[in-house]
């Protein structure tokens, strides 16, 4: 096994574990996967001419930093986070993982996300799909998520985004 294979396996393990932590509602452990200066964004896709380089708006559906992610988790720990009680059920399918670039202590990682969300007694499932552009950084030997940008395929969101991606 080459070093590159080892790094790839480590990246894949990191992303799959991170997805499982969210789906299992292990939010504190999930937050531990993030660096202190993490940025976490879902920009807004628009329907644009194919010659337009940037179909995403300046504003996002989500524009979080570590502080705001912590506040979201702190809210979930209160007894009054009504949108999360009863909680929706999510399944994060993470695939097509590629290491796009290797820097000193950081890796640019691309992955695909298929997010399935079920809520209430609705037999249907809401689906969102997209490409994630992540930056993983090695901190004290462990990989941490320093940047996440989820580039959704959808232009309209079919539910209140009370879930992490």
Partner 1 sequence: MGASRTEDAGQAVLDRIRDGLDRGELPADALTDETLFDLEMEHLFEDQWVFLAHESEIPDPGDYVVRSYLEEEFIVIRDESGTVRVLENACCHQGMEVCRTERGNASHLRCTYHGWTYDNTGDLVGVPFREQAYGDDLDRVGRQLSPAPRQASYNGLVFASLNPEVEPLEDYLGDYRFYLDFFTGRSPAGMEFVGPQRRVLDFNWKAVMINAFGDFYHSMVTHRSASEVGAVDTTNAYGGEENRIDPEIGYHINAGPGGTITREGYLFEGAPEAVKAGHRETLSDEQWALVDVAGTPGASGILPNVTINNSIGVPGPEESVPFTYARKLRPLGPRQTEVLTWNVVEADAPEDYKERTREAFVFLFGTSGLYTQDDTVNWQSITRVSGGGMAERRQLKYNMALEADPDPDVVGPGRAYPTVLTEANPRHFLAKYVESLEEATP
Residues in the site for partner 1, rule: CB under 8 A? Answer: 42, 44, 46-49, 52, 57-65, 67-68, 71-72, 74-75, 78, 80-84, 155-162
Instruction: Tell me the closest approach of the beta carbon of residue 39 to partner 1, in angstroms.
Output: 11
Nearer to partner 1, 67 or 141 (CB): 67
* Region label for 149, one of left (φ > 0), alpha (ψ between -120 and 50) or beta (otherwise): beta
Instruction: Tell me the closest approach of the beta carbon of residue 28 to partner 1, in angstroms.
Output: 15
Supply the DSSP string of 30-87, one letter for each residue. Answer: HHTTEEEEEEEEEEEE----TT-S--EEEEEEEEEEHHHHHHHHHHHHSTT-GGGSSP
Nearer to partner 1, 60 or 118 (CB): 60
Instruction: Tell me the closest approach of the beta carbon of residue 95 to partner 1, in angstroms.
Output: 24
106 forms bridges with which residues in the sheet? 137
- Tracing tokens 């929706």 back to the chain, one arrives at 88
Nearer to partner 1, 51 or 104 (CB): 51
Instruction: Tell me the closest approach of the beta carbon of residue 60 to partner 1, in angstroms.
Output: 6
């Amino acid at each position: 096994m080459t070093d590159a294979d080892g790094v790839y396996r480590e990246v894949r393990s990191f992303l799959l574990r991170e997805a499982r932590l969210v789906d299992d509602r292990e939010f504190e452990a999930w937050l531990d996967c993030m660096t202190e200066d993490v940025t976490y964004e879902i920009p807004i896709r628009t329907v644009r001419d194919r010659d337009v380089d940037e179909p995403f708006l300046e504003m996002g559906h989500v524009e979080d930093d570590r502080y705001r992610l912590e506040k979201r988790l702190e809210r979930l720990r209160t007894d009054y986070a009504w949108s999360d009680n009863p909680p929706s059920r999510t399944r994060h399918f993470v695939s097509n993982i590629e290491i796009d670039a290797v820097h000193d202590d950081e890796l640019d990682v691309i992955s695909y996300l298929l997010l399935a969300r079920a809520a209430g007694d609705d037999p249907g499932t809401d689906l969102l799909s997209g490409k994630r552009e992540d930056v993983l950084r090695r901190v004290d030997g462990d990989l941490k998520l320093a940047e996440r940008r989820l580039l959704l395929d959808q232009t309209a969101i079919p539910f209140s985004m009370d879930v992490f991606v």
